Every structure is written in structure tokens, then in C-alpha cells.
Amino acid sequence: MARDARGGRPAGARPRVQLAALIVAGVFLLIGVLGFIPGITTDYGELRFAGHHSDARLVGLFQVSILHNAVHLLFGLAGLVMARSVAGARLFLAGGGAIYLALWLYGLAIEAIDEEGGANILPLNNADNWLHLALGFGMLALGLLLSNRAGTGGRLDTPANRH
């Protein structure tokens, strides 16, 4: 199998962090689309643009709105674009993980203060909160652990340095 110029992975193969970013982005796109499909989204007639008044639920569990679905679609598109480079894939996964951990904290705060209040614009429910926690840690771990030596910012070696 042909290797790249530095003797690393096979030519044309993507680093694991880029593959992970592509998969995660694809899942976000799928979730965004599924949120607009009646049947997969229960109480579809109750789907609202934003806010806690949207009683539609993806697979009967996760409260969604048009804005919530659009955010998933945009996040997925951003992931596809960012996964084109190792640095972008890392940023999408690790940065996205941090965003989802912040969203988890936001959801907990909304739940503690007033779940029916105006600050719950996405909307978020308990199932969303725990999913955001898992997504946050999962994406952060993928972004940090799959990055091993590719694109770490170290100096490039020369052929004389190779053993």
C-alpha cells in the first residue's frame, strides 16, 4: 500500500480525528433532518419555531423546535467543513464538546430556575440535558485523544532525521 511522503498512513487515508469529525457531523445532520420528519418526531403538529412551548419530541424523548433542528443542521455543516483539516477536525470536536458541556450547564440552570421561562429558547428538557453531557464529553475526548501525532504543531522532520 502506498504511504505518504513521511512514511505515515496510506496515501489518501484520513487521520482518525478527521474521520471522527465527519461521523459526528453526519450524525448532527441526520438528527437535524429527523427533527423535521413526522412520526420520528412525535407531536409534530406542536413543533414551534423556538421556546419551551414546542411540544414536539424527537423519537418521543428529546424536545425539539425548528430552531433546535436548524442548530443541529448548522452544527453538522460546520463539522463537515472543519473536518477537511486535522486542526479543523480537532477544533470541531474539542470546541464542540466544550460548547455542549456549556449547553448542559445551561440546561441544568434552566431546569433549576424555571423550565417554562423565556430563557429556554431551544427548547431543552431533562433528556436533552443528559444527551448534551454525553455529547460534550464524547466530542471532547475524540478531539483530544484521536489527535496523537498528526498536526501537533511540532517541527517537521527531514529525511536525514528518520531512522
* In-domain check, residue 8: no
Other CB atoms within 10 Å distance of the CB of residue 83 = 25
DSSP string, 128-149: HHHHHHHHHHHHHHHHHHTTSS
CB 157 within 8 A of CB 6: yes
Residue 10 lies inside a defined structural domain of this protein: no
Q: What are phi and psi of 79, to 5 degrees?
A: -65, -40
Whether 122 maps to a domain, the answer reads yes
For 75-104, write each residue's pLDDT tens digit. Answer: 999 999 999 999 999 999 999 999 999 999
Reported pTM? 0.79
Question: What percent of the chain lies above the pLDDT cut of 90?
Answer: 61
Is residue 11 one of the residues assigned to a domain? no
Q: How many domains does the chain have?
A: 1
Beta sheet of 62-63, edge-to-edge order? 41-42, 57-58, 62-63
Residue 2 lies in a domain: no
Q: Which residues of the chain have a pLDDT value below 50?
A: 1-3, 150-152, 154-159, 161-163
Would residue 93 count as lying in a domain?
yes
